[in-house]
Amino acid sequence: MTAPECVTYASAVCAGAAAWLMVGQGPGRARLLFADGAAEPGPRIGRERVRAWCRVMFRERREWLCLPVALVLAVLGESVLPLVAGVVAVPLVRRWLRKRAGRLERERRADAVVALCGAVVGELRAGHEPGQALLVAVRGAATMDVAEAAVSAAARFGGDVPGALGQAAREPGLEGLAGVAACWRVAVVGGAGLAAGLDRLEGALRAERRRREELRAQLAGAWSTVAVLALLPVLGLGLGAALGADPFRVLLHTPAGLACLVAGALLETAGLCWAGRIVRAGEAV
């Protein structure tokens, strides 16, 4: 497929998208009123739908963006192999995005545990009973929904609060609640001050969070190196195309090019996995 044909196809796609935006799906979507400078809500509704679709694609279904990129590469290279690679990449990218979202959720929950300790200490020093202080603190924690019901019920009805906290500490990111349960148990059984214990626990959790943030900042350079190494093959393809070597034709339509493509993809994947494992091992220290 020549460059003019690619431009023609791209223009047709853009024209179709524009027509869909103007017409929409209802019977009155194509009418625009120019009287008094007013417009019917039909096109506005169409734009809102497009915005909602883009919001879903770019926030919740980002892995499906691999398919348009693969389709463009397939058209440019006149081969179905990039499209097959894009289909294979969708579940892999989805898995990576889910792992990343899980890590962010664990960090948010860990921060919520630190805020919970500070809130309980503040309520206790304000003169509230331990159960009432815990109830107020749990309600104010935004990411404690997985533990709020059990802990609130135990605190409200005089149940096993340390047991409920220990059960909630099994959730990812809420491991710090095990320390809260220990402080609660010591305060009830031994008569020690609950506010003092939670204050020390909050300090320890904050120090752990600062250490994790400093370690992540130190490893940011390593992650940047991994990203640069991952983009080097793309830079090589662009440089070859700029020099007129037509790398897509060589890689996708010749036996030697296909062999180099497979070997390069395997080596690239192995290198990224190895580098990522090294950096993640550094984060786990």
Domain ranges of the chain: 107-203, 219-285
3-class DSSP string for 160-201: CHHHHHHHHCCCCCCCCHHHHHHHHHHHHHHCCCHHHHHHHH
Q: What tokens does 203 get?
A: 């300090």
pTM over 0.85: no
* Alpha-carbon span 233 to 228, nearest angstrom: 10
Q: What tokens does 247 get?
A: 């790398």
* Alpha-carbon span 77 to 240, nearest angstrom: 14
- Tell me the per-residue pLDDT of 40-76, one tens digit each, with 9 for 90 and over: 455 555 667 666 656 655 566 778 888 888 888 888 8
- Tell me the per-residue pLDDT of 191-249, one tens digit each, with 9 for 90 and over: 567 888 888 998 999 998 898 888 888 888 878 888 888 888 888 888 888 888 888 88
